[in-house]
Amino acid sequence: MTADPECLFCKIIAGEIPAEILHSTERTVAFRDINPQAPLHVLVVPRDHAPNAAASAEAGPEMFAEIAVTARAIATAEGYDDHRLVFNTGAGVGQTVFHTHGHVLAGRSMTWPPG
C-alpha cells in the first residue's frame, strides 16, 4: 500500500484521525463526510494514495468499479435507491483533499447542472 504521511485521508485510513467508517475492504474505506452536502454524504477512498481520480485511473481502472459498487452498497444500506457519485479532480473544481475520493450523495433532490 502506498500512503502519504501528510495526507488527511491516509491518516484516516491508518486510524490516526477518527472518522465514522461505514465500509472497509482490502482496497477501499468509506466514511461520512464531516461537512455533509446531503442527508447521505459519504466518501469512498482507495487505500492506496493517488492525488486524484485521473491518477487512480492511470494506475488501474478496476478501482473505479470497486468504488462504484461500494457507493451503491452504502446508499442501499442507508435506505436510498438513488444516489450521486462525484469525483473532483483539481482545485479548480473543488477538490480540497488530494487523495482520490468519490462523494456518495443521496437523500435530497439533485439539480443539473451541478454547482
Residues with catalytic annotation? 101
Helix (H, G, I), strand (E, B) or coil at 114: coil
- Which conformational region is residue 44 in: left (phi greater than 0), alpha (psi within -120 to 50 degrees), or beta? beta
Cβ-based neighbours of 48, under 8 Å, separated by 6 or more: 1, 2, 3, 27, 59, 63
Look at the block and give the residue holding cell 444500506.
77
| Whether 63 contacts 87, CB under 8 Å | no
